[in-house]
Structure 1
Amino acid sequence: MRLLVLCTHNSARSQMAEAWLRHHARLLGVDLEVHSAGTEKTFVKEEAKRAMAEVGLDLSGHTSKTLLEVPDPWNFGLVLTVCDQAKEACPVYPKKTLKRHVSFPDPSGKPLEEWRRVRDALGRMSLFLVQSLKEGRVPADEELERAAWG
């Protein structure tokens, strides 16, 4: 399955989710092609890199990109929005594309502890999503929300 994580700037939350999803898919042996993009292009924030490095995931090679910079941008099995603004701006996808949304707060401008809190919630949600995909199902928004925040 091809999966797109969409956020506003593709600078933090979507980048962290992309790394987590790839990590969990690799560990669980799930064939998952993961991309992330933003409704606007900026840069990957240093705090995101630092927070993910603490759990052994490297964002140093990641770059911020818009949807049109992602390979084959209209051919995804699942589009996951991780901020409310991206959900509202999400383009219309073909009917075959499933869309899911979980709102994660923007940790920008906050202490590293808030980055860790968002990172860990993204990690829990990503693990649950990959486990569900391995079982052959795509969980509902509410299930993903519970996995992230309890």
Structure 2
Amino acid sequence: MRVLFMCTANSCRSILSEAMFNHLAPQPFAAVSSGSFPKGQVLPRSLSTLQHAGISTDGLSSKGNEAFEDCPPDIVITVCDKAAGEACPVYFGPA
């Protein structure tokens, strides 16, 4: 089961969700993340927070939905922050 966590920039919330999910979830569950407008880099504070918690940061990167066109997710979870005035991202692929 492949889970996609989405936010707008894919630099903090969805990255944290991906890493924590993969740290805690049993096989065959696996998480990936993307952004509707990817920032292109993960916030250093996100990485240091995960490392401090003993969660691997290997392979984490800011990317868009095109990274998953060949292997679409089974479930899509958006982690937007409407309080900050952001529009929640939309995933238009099969899921």
Note the aligned Cα RMSD (angstroms).
1.9
Encode CA deviations 1:55-95: one digit per residue, 9 max, x unaligned: 1013253111001023535x3211000014463x303344x
Query: 1:21 is matched with which residue?
Result: 21
Q: Which has the higher helix share?
A: 1
Identity value in percent? 30
Query: 1:141 is matched with which residue?
Result: none
Partners of 1:80 and 1:2 in 2: CA distance: 11
SS of 1:20's equivalent in the other structure is helix
**Greater shift in the superposed pair: 39-48 or 52-61:** 52-61
User: What are the equivalent positions in structure 2 for 1:49-88 lying under 5 Å apart?
Assistant: 49-59=47-57, 61-70=59-68, 72=70, 75-83=72-80, 84=82, 85=86, 87=88
TM-score norm. by structure 2 comes to 0.80
SS of 2:17's equivalent in the other structure is helix
User: What are the equivalent positions in structure 2 for 1:1-150 lying under 5 Å apart?
Assistant: 1-25=1-25, 29-42=26-39, 43-59=41-57, 61-70=59-68, 72=70, 75-83=72-80, 84=82, 85=86, 87=88, 89-94=89-94, 97=95
Question: How many positions carry a matched residue from both structures?
Answer: 90
Structure 2: tracts of 5 or more residues without a match: none
Are 1:6 and 1:81, in contact at CA under 8 Å, matched by a contact in 2?
yes
Partners of 1:33 and 1:71 in 2: CA distance: 16
Structure 1: tracts of 5 or more residues without a match: 98-150
| Structure label with greater radius of gyration | 1
TM-score norm. by structure 1 comes to 0.53
Partners of 2:4 and 2:37 in 1: CA distance: 15
